[in-house]
Chain A
Amino acid sequence: EVQLVESGGGLVQPGGSLRLSCAASGFTFSSYWMHWVRQAPGKGLVWVSRINSDGSSTIYADSVKGRFTISRDNAKNTLYLQMNSLRADDTAVYYCTRKRAGTHSIDYWGQGTLVTVSS
């Protein structure tokens, strides 16, 4: 069974940093591209970032470019999102997701971890 379990969320002050982790299991993690998607409270889904299977290619939404870094450790079956210079509008549930092979949809989602940026 595919499982994606996020951790690392919490309360952080504006300008602060946080690193999210996503532990993957139930599939060959090193074979799949992964995305981070976020959802502000009561709002819609917003794509954040994507990384390819070996970590050599990454891409970001303009709203987080230069502040967030996506990475992965295939030996540990873990996806990361390093978030720096956090702002109030980064407050959201962050979902770790798996890109479906051969297409550009997302076939599995974690349960999400809440990041709250507030003083």
Chain B
Amino acid sequence: QSALTQPASVSGSPGQSITISCTGTSSDVGTYNYVSWYQQHPGKAPKLMIYDVSNRPSGISDRFSGSKSGNTASLTISGLQAEDEADYYCSSYTSSSTLVFGTGTKVTVL
């Protein structure tokens, strides 16, 4: 199972919106609405930000939103803040009953 494809880096100024893409195949993202997004700060464990494409766990800011079209899922961060600077990973359930993660995106707040 190959990793889902994400851009290596995305940047934006405070207050702006950015979008991170996550491209898979018909064996994962394209078939299942089980796409999740995780935020990871340096030296820390990942944190669930979005599950099932567009749902936010309790306590996650509504500045984070998710969507999916075909084989590509997206995470949008609106009103970008300094604390949003981190690595972001998508994941998807697969037709093999496994999970696959994305390659990761480093978000920089300019």
Binding site for B on A (CB under 8 A): 35, 37, 44-47, 50, 59, 61-62, 95, 100, 103-107, 109-112
Q: Are B36 and A62 in contact (CB under 8 A)?
A: no
Known A62-B1, A110-B45; contact A105-B103, beta-carbon cutoff 8 A: no
Q: Are B99 and A109 touching (Cβ within 8 A)? A: no
Q: Which residues of B contact A61 (CB under 8 A)?
A: 1, 98
Stretch from B14-22, B46-54, B75-83 forming part of the interface with A: B46-54
A50/B46 contact (C-beta < 8 A), A44-B89, A104-B34 known: no
20 contacts between A and B (CB under 8 A): A44-B3, A44-B103, A45-B38, A45-B101, A46-B3, A46-B101, A47-B100, A50-B98, A50-B99, A59-B96, A62-B1, A100-B48, A100-B51, A103-B34, A104-B99, A105-B48, A105-B51, A107-B57, A109-B47, A110-B45
Asked if B89 and A45 make an inter-chain contact with CB atoms under 8 angstroms apart, the answer reads yes
| Residues of chain A with a CB closer than 8 A to B102's CB | 44
Q: Which of B89-110 contact A (CB under 8 A)?
A: 89, 91, 93, 96-104
The interface of chain B, by Cβ under 8 A from chain A, is 1, 3, 32, 34, 36, 38, 40, 45-48, 51-52, 57, 89, 91, 93, 96-104
Residue on A nearest B36 in the bound complex, by CB = A105
> A105 to B98, Cβ gap below 8 A?
no
Please tell me if the beta carbons of A95 and B45 are within 8 angstroms of each other in the complex: yes
Chain B residues contacting A112 (CB-CB under 8 Å) are: 45
